[in-house]
A and B are shown apart, each in its own frame.
Chain A
Amino acid sequence: MTLLTPQAGDIPLPVPGALSVPYWEGCAAGELRFQRCSDCGGATHTPAVLCAHCTSTDLVWEVSSGRGEVYSWTTIWRPATPAFEVPYVPLIVEMEEGWHMLADLVGCEHDAVHVGLAVEVEFFAHPGGITLPYFHPRR
Chain B
Amino acid sequence: MGQHPFHDVAIVGIHNTEQARVLEGHDDRSISLQAALGAIADAGLEPRDVDGVIGPFGNDFLYQARIGPAWRSLSALGIPALLDGVTAIASGMATTVLFATGGAGTYTQRASTAPWTRPTNEFVAAYGMYTAGEFALMARRHMHLHGTTAEQMAHAAAVVRNNGHAHPDAVYSGRGPFTAEDVLASRMVADPFHLLECSMTSEGGAAVVLTRADRVADLRQRPVYVLGGGTDYYGPAYQHPPLWDLGGHRRPDLVAGYVGRRAAEEAFACAGLGPNDVDVCEFYDPFSFEILRQFEAFGFCGPGEGGAYVTSGAIEPGGATPVTTDGGTMSFSHGGAAVQLLQRVIRGVEQLRGTCASMQVEGAEVAMCTGGGSGALFTDVVLLGRERP
Count of interface residues, chain B, beta-carbon cutoff 8 Å: 36
Q: How far is the CB of B42 from chain A (nearest CB, A)?
A: 38
Q: Which of A71-97 contact B (CB under 8 A)?
A: 71-82, 84, 88, 90, 92
Question: Do A72 and B144 form a contact, CB below 8 Å, given A77-B187, A90-B133?
Answer: yes
Distance in angstroms between the alpha carbons of A84 and B113 in the assembled complex? 12
Interface centre among B188, B195, B239, B244 (most CB of A within 10 A): B188
User: Is A41 close to B, CB under 8 A?
Assistant: no
Q: CB within 8 A of B128: which of A13, A16, A80?
A: A80
Q: How far is the CB of A133 from chain B (nearest CB, A)?
A: 10
Question: Do A46 and B123 form a contact, CB below 8 Å, given A75-B188, A77-B188, A104-B128?
Answer: yes
Q: Which residues of A contact B243 (CB under 8 A)?
A: 71, 92, 100
- How would residues 109 to 127 of chain B score, 1 for a CB under 8 Å from any chain A CB and 0 otherwise? 0011100011010111111
Q: How far is the CB of B195 from chain A (nearest CB, A)?
A: 8
Q: CB within 8 A of B136: which of A11, A24, A71, A74?
A: A74
Question: Do A75 and B124 form a contact, CB below 8 Å, given A92-B242, A100-B241?
Answer: no
Among residues of A, the one whose C-beta sits closest to the C-beta of B192 is A74
Distance in angstroms between the alpha carbons of A26 and B178 in the assembled complex? 50
Distance in angstroms between the alpha carbons of A104 and B133 in the assembled complex? 11
Q: How far is the CB of B361 from chain A (nearest CB, A)?
A: 35
User: Is A102 close to B, CB under 8 A?
Assistant: yes
- The answer to whether B190 touches A77 (Cβ under 8 A) is yes
Question: Do A72 and B140 form a contact, CB below 8 Å, given A7-B128, A11-B126, A102-B124?
Answer: yes
- The answer to whether A46 touches B240 (Cβ under 8 A) is yes
Q: Which residues of A contact B195 (CB under 8 A)?
A: 78
- The answer to whether B111 touches A82 (Cβ under 8 A) is yes
Q: How far is the CB of A95 from chain B (nearest CB, A)?
A: 11
- The answer to whether B144 touches A115 (Cβ under 8 A) is yes
Q: Which residues of A contact B129 (CB under 8 A)?
A: 80, 90, 102
User: Is A15 close to B, CB under 8 A?
Assistant: yes
Number of A-B contacts (CB under 8 A): 113
Question: Do A76 and B128 form a contact, CB below 8 Å, given A46-B239, A92-B241, A92-B243?
Answer: yes
- The answer to whether B113 touches A78 (Cβ under 8 A) is yes
Question: Do A101 and B187 form a contact, CB below 8 Å, given A80-B130, A84-B128?
Answer: no
Among residues of B, the one whose C-beta sits closest to the C-beta of A103 is B127
Secondary structure at the A interface, as helix, strand, loop or mixed, is loop
User: Is A20 close to B, CB under 8 A?
Assistant: yes
Distance in angstroms between the alpha carbons of A13 and B239 in the assembled complex? 14
Distance in angstroms between the alpha carbons of A90 and B240 in the assembled complex? 13
Q: How far is the CB of A136 from chain B (nearest CB, A)?
A: 15
Q: How far is the CB of A122 from chain B (nearest CB, A)?
A: 14
Distance in angstroms between the alpha carbons of A9 and B58 in the assembled complex? 41
Q: How far is the CB of B114 from chain A (nearest CB, A)?
A: 10
- The answer to whether B126 touches A7 (Cβ under 8 A) is yes
- The answer to whether B112 touches A15 (Cβ under 8 A) is no
Distance in angstroms between the alpha carbons of A71 and B137 in the assembled complex? 9
Q: How far is the CB of B201 from chain A (nearest CB, A)?
A: 12
Distance in angstroms between the alpha carbons of A84 and B140 in the assembled complex? 22
User: Is A127 close to B, CB under 8 A?
Assistant: no
- How would residues 88 to 100 of chain B score, 1 for a CB under 8 Å from any chain A CB and 0 otherwise? 0000000000000
Q: List 5 A-B contacts (CB under 8 A).
A: A12-B118, A20-B123, A74-B132, A77-B190, A80-B125
